[in-house]
């Protein structure tokens, strides 16, 4: 089901963006430990988003065959 895969990818992209914003706020305040923590979270969400995007793209291609 391509829609579910696209939705999951979008959710992880949104989580990654939120973590990136939070990391930037912490780094801006000089709290680099918390900034690093949120940067690491963002990276994890970005990786998961990429995996879901790749799966969604594959399923979308299958749908159009």
* Residue range 8-49, pLDDT digits in tens: 999 999 999 999 999 999 999 999 999 999 999 999 999 999
Provide the greatest CA pair distance for the chain: 52
Task: Name the band, by pLDDT with cuts 50, 70 and 90, for residue 58.
Answer: confident
Task: Name the band, by pLDDT with cuts 50, 70 and 90, for residue 61.
Answer: low
Tell me: pLDDT of 7 over 70: yes
Which helix (H) or strand (E) segment holds residue 13: the answer is: helix 2-28
Task: Name the band, by pLDDT with cuts 50, 70 and 90, for residue 57.
Answer: confident
What does the alpha-carbon distance between residue 6 and residue 10 come to, in Å, rounded to a whole number? Answer: 6
In the block, tokens 């829609």 appear at 3
Which pTM does this prediction carry? 0.80
| Alpha carbon separation from 21 to 14, 26, 51, 62 (Å, rounded) | 11, 9, 22, 35
């Amino acid at each position: 089901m391509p829609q579910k895969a696209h939705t999951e990818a979008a959710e992880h992209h949104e989580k990654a963006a939120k973590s990136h914003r939070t990391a930037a706020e912490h780094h801006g305040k000089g709290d680099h430990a918390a900034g690093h923590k949120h940067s690491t979270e963002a990276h994890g969400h970005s990786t998961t988003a990429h995996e879901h995007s790749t799966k969604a793209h594959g399923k979308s291609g299958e749908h159009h065959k």
